[in-house]
A and B are shown apart, each in its own frame.
Chain A
Amino acid sequence: MHRRAFVRLLTAGAWVKAAGLDLLARGKPADPIGAGLQIRSDLPALKIVSRYSPAAVPGMPGPYPGRVIKVKSDKCVDTATNTANDPVVREMMAQGMRALTGAASTEDAWRRFFTPADVVGIKVNCGGYPNCISAYEIVGETVRQLTTVGVPVSQVYVYERFQNQMDECNYSAHLPQGVQSVAAERANRNTDNSGYDPETYLEANLFGEEDTRSSMMRLVSKRLTKIINIPNMKDHGATGATGCLKNIAYGSFSNVARTHQRGKSHTYSVVGTLASIEPVRSRTVLQIMDGIRGVWHGGPFARTTKYVFYPKQILFGTDPVAIDRLLLDIIDNERKAHGAISIWDRNPASLKIDDGRARDADPNVNIIIREPGHVEYAASLGLGVYDLAKIKLQELTV
């Protein structure tokens, strides 16, 4: 490394480290939009190392903090066959993007975010294969709109962490030739680190593990200029629900499964902290939450349809906290409708540590004390608006 570059790296790294430590030590909101939050104090020390500076307007919460567009359509999916309706989804996408931006045309709406020079990553979610993954129709329409505004398909990357999951989902078969499909690791085996940037990471000793770093995907730090986040509406055994924050955070960093084990979850602070690390925070400019299908228990997996439900909606925004705040209620309400314990349940009597079979068989079983409060914590980092009274939700129907 050239000496001058090295010195710059040290300076930037030291600044970011200091900022991260200070913020977490004080436990205070980084931004006025986080005022009034109740943040726990019993949190592990987290150290951020990054040489990237934030954009003038970081992608999260972006230009529309607290603003969420919900587009519903009863016709978006055939629940008998679990098949999405492509034309209806396209119309939902068009209306959602226009409503979010106020643009007169769909193309103009996308131009608010992307230019032909951008290298765009689409963070999909493959964890719920085969019954609840980022819909091919939404991903496909996203790529189509990117090409409409002039982004070459060779500059569009659909990505996940694990290649075996990408292979299962096989987005390439549903996308124009030339769109890149990228994963950081062959599988979740903790043996492939080359796809990660060893100089951009979160360091934390959570359970006494030796490998205390979670590093950002090289694709994200070195190649992409913008990211579109397309999570699903899913329950999650460690976080309560997995939406925008969890998808972008745990889907862009290595070695994150270590945060939840033996009944305890450190996801409360780690999810938001990972999402706040530059450059992922600045580059994630658009959130499109796929609620065509959902998972109300047993998530993030959906190997069977037992816990699949159909919210029949797509949420649009730039604020991941606001969307995830709504998601918490969507998942919890669905669980209540089925007579299941709340995602906020912390009763030890509900806990069967690491017993995945019991959890899958009974929606009143937790395998870890869930941490839906991770969304509020993320708000304290300035990632978005948590207070429902301050979230501006606009509902549309197709």
Chain B
Amino acid sequence: MTTAILFIIAAVPCLYWTQGLETRPAVEAAGIKRLCAPAEQADGWRKAGLTVTTIGESEFGAREALSAPGVSPRPGVASPTRAPWIVASGWRFMRAPTTKYSYSAPAGKAALAAAEAFAYDADAIIKVDPADLPSVGAMMAFFDTLPTEDLPPVADFGVVDDGSAITGEVLNLLARRNLLFHVEKGPSAHYRLNIVIGSAAYPQADAADPSTFAQKVRAQLTDEQRSLRLYGSEVVIARLTSDGKRARVHLINYGGRDIEGLRVRVRGGYSSGDGYVAGTGKVALQDQVVADGAIEFSLPKIGTYAVVDLK
């Protein structure tokens, strides 16, 4: 396990709201206190007491657009016994952490988009469907309740990014399988494993099947040596940050259904922790076991997003 040297302070995504003050009751009812709004609306919202960042439509459009997060059924391919296809952007945030991003979230997706962006400290603006105001407002309020942390991300290996699409898809599949990597410009001495696509060890031809490629990397790491494992779901993606003494686990549930008893294993010398579940608040970790150089625990129930702080 190696902690990456670079990290940024947690950023809270901004909600892009183009509607006027006539929607103030709904915005206030959702508990939203900060907005991104076009210039013609910004002053009105400021006078209404909100913190507003002026964002024009062109500026929103100039940001790198992200797909709405979630799971995507693949008729004729997926089946109930297989892991569904997850649409997630964590790998993009890791690949380009300083890029400015935007989501145009359809109804039902804004809270998940906010959680995803928050978990990865991404500079993201989310265009919100009005139906999502309550859920995304609750998610933003949840972010405010979390203890402040500025821990660096944990990675088990490095991936040298050549900027190609094929490497991007590999990063996508690695992230989706909760294989913790850090994007590097060249092989790093921090890691016992460095993935250089196009090298003899990792030829381009192998990377053409990114799912199999991710399995190859997983086998090289071995599950026992992975800093983080999840059990009880195939639709949760985790991000782990740590300074070696404390750790934060972000758990993003892309499946759209509550998950009960999600099991988490984190390697390291942690002996206790607290859980924070969006929609619930602070929860005790269940069935906690510390053994074999790792801590394991379960969360009673998570919806879209949860955070666990370990010490």
Q: Which residues of A contact B (CB under 8 A)?
A: 1, 6, 9-10, 13, 188-196, 198-199, 205, 208-213, 215, 254-255, 257-258, 260-261, 354
Contacts and interface: CB of A to CB of B under 8 A. Distances in A.
Contacts of B287: 198-199
A198 B223 contact: no
Contact of A196 (B79, B230, B261): B261
B18 interface: no
A254 to B, nearest CB: 8
B260 A192 contact: yes
Nearest to B232: A193
A191 B233 contact: yes
B69 interface: no
B80 to A, nearest CB: 7
Interface string B51-88: 00000000000000000000000000001111100000
B230 A210 contact: yes
A211 B288 contact: no
A167 to B, nearest CB: 18
Interface stretch (B113-121, B143-151, B161-169, B290-298): B290-298
A13 B255 CA distance: 33
Nearest to B214: A208
A191 B234 contact: no
25 contacts: A1-B288, A1-B289, A6-B289, A6-B290, A6-B291, A10-B291, A190-B234, A191-B258, A191-B260, A193-B263, A194-B301, A196-B261, A199-B287, A205-B223, A208-B218, A210-B234, A211-B232, A211-B233, A211-B234, A212-B231, A213-B231, A213-B232, A255-B232, A260-B81, A261-B82
Nearest to A260: B81
A198 B83 contact: no
B215 interface: yes
| Residue of A1, A191, A195, A354 with highest tally of chain B CB at under 10 A | A191
Contacts of B82: 261
A211 B80 contact: no
Contact of A210 (B81, B178, B259, B262): B178
Contacts of B230: 210-211
B257 interface: yes
Interface residues of B, number: 33
A193 B260 contact: yes
Contact of A199 (B255, B289, B290): B289
A223 to B, nearest CB: 16
A1 B289 CA distance: 8
A116 B300 CA distance: 34
Contacts of A189: 80, 257
A209 B260 contact: no
A1 to B, nearest CB: 7
Given A192-B260, A210-B178, A198 B231 contact: yes
Contact of B296 (A196, A198, A254, A255): A198
A190 B80 CA distance: 9
Contacts of A260: 81
Contacts of A258: 81
A209 B262 contact: no
Contact of B261 (A193, A209, A210): A193
B81 A9 contact: no
Interface string B164-199: 000000000000011000000000000000000000
Given A6-B289, A193-B233, A194-B300, 19 more contacts: A9-B291, A188-B80, A189-B80, A190-B233, A191-B257, A193-B231, A193-B262, A195-B261, A198-B261, A198-B263, A198-B287, A208-B215, A209-B83, A209-B234, A211-B230, A213-B231, A213-B232, A258-B81, A261-B82
A1 B177 CA distance: 31
Given A193-B298, A198-B231, A261-B82, A213 B263 contact: yes
Contacts of B232: 190, 193, 211, 213, 254-255
Nearest to B287: A198
